[in-house]
């Protein structure tokens, strides 16, 4: 019966309609899969664009922790020493000490106790200020990295939802094509049965006939 049904479907055009339904489903599914690929490409590009900011924020957070003593004592000491040896700290202390000495020289107090006390207090004050400024600068970087990471996470969730939707569309499209083809063949079979029934009825002898 399958061969007869298929032959009848081809003669009536039902077979072509069934294949068209399958092709339409595949076309829609392929479009959905291309959408998934494009979504993934855009997400990967977003990750690449944000990666430098995320990396900078991660490094800044680690540097903050070392300066605040949240790591080992050796790490904190190394972080402070690095600031003390930085060109910025050296320039600030030299300028400040030169200003103190210049003022003391002008007033005749170059060897006075006040001058020596001012010099002794100046470097620790500069170092404290430099540390606070460094923590503030690192805080800005870490907040920027946090925002970038949050943006990546949000984009990832959105991308996951989009992919899930597109996968659902692809599956529904293929299923619709298969169902459409099946319905077409079923209709062709039903039509064949109706025709067979009509033919069988017509071939029966009528009552009273010869």
pLDDT of residue 147: 87
Give residues with Cβ within 8 angstroms of 90, minimum separation 6: none
pLDDT of residue 8: 40
pLDDT of residue 127: 92
Can you state the angle between helices 2-12 and 14-67, rounded to 10 degrees?
A: 90
Confirm if 144 and 53 have CB atoms less than 8 A apart.
yes
C-alpha span between 117 and 121 (Å, rounded): 6
pLDDT of residue 109: 60
C-alpha span between 61 and 59 (Å, rounded): 5
The token pair at 145 is 């990295």
Please state the φ and ψ torsions of residue 138, each to the nearest 5 degrees.
-65, -35
Question: What does the angle CA 135 – CA 139 – CA 154 come to, to the nearest 5 degrees?
Answer: 165
pLDDT of residue 22: 62
| C-alpha dihedral, 26 to 29 to 33 to 34, nearest 10° | 70
C-alpha span between 6 and 2 (Å, rounded): 6
pTM tops 0.85, yes or no: no
The token pair at 88 is 């910025």
pLDDT of residue 195: 53
Confirm if 2 and 186 have CB atoms less than 8 A apart.
no
From the CA atom positions of the chain, what is the Rg in Å? 41
pLDDT of residue 151: 82
Written as tens digits, the pLDDT of the chain (210 aa) is 454 445 444 434 444 555 556 666 677 777 777 777 877 888 888 888 888 888 988 999 999 999 999 989 999 999 999 999 999 999 999 998 888 888 777 666 656 667 788 888 888 999 999 999 999 999 999 988 888 888 887 877 787 777 777 776 776 666 666 655 555 655 554 554 455 555 455 455 555 554
The token pair at 130 is 């430099």
pLDDT of residue 34: 78
Please state the φ and ψ torsions of residue 207, each to the nearest 5 degrees.
-60, 135
pLDDT of residue 177: 61
Question: What does the angle CA 152 – CA 153 – CA 157 come to, to the nearest 5 degrees?
Answer: 115
pLDDT of residue 132: 94
Please state the φ and ψ torsions of residue 111, each to the nearest 5 degrees.
-100, 10
The token pair at 131 is 């540390």
H or E segment at 159?
helix 113-203
Block residue for tokens 């083809």:
181
pLDDT of residue 134: 93
């Amino acid at each position: 019966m399958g061969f007869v049904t298929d032959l009848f479907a081809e003669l009536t055009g039902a077979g072509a309609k069934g294949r068209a339904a399958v092709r339409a489903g595949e076309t829609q599914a392929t479009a959905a899969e291309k959408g998934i690929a494009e979504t993934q490409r855009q997400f990967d590009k977003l990750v690449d664009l944000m990666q430098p900011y995320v990396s900078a924020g991660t490094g800044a957070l680690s540097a903050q922790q070392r300066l605040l003593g949240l790591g080992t004592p050796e790490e904190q000491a190394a972080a402070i020493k690095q600031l003390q040896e930085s060109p910025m700290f050296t320039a600030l202390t030299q300028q400040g000490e030169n200003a103190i000495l210049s003022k003391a020289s002008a007033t005749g107090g170059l060897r006075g106790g006040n001058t020596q006390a001012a010099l002794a207090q100046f470097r620790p004050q500069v170092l404290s200020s430099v540390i606070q400024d460094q923590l503030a600068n690192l805080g800005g970087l870490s907040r920027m990295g946090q925002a970038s990471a949050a943006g990546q996470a949000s984009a990832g969730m959105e991308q996951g939802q989009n992919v899930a939707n597109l996968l659902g569309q692809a599956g529904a499209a293929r299923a619709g094509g298969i169902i459409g083809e099946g319905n077409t063949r079923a209709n062709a079979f039903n039509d064949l049965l109706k025709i067979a029934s009509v033919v069988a009825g017509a071939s029966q002898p009528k009552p009273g006939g010869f």
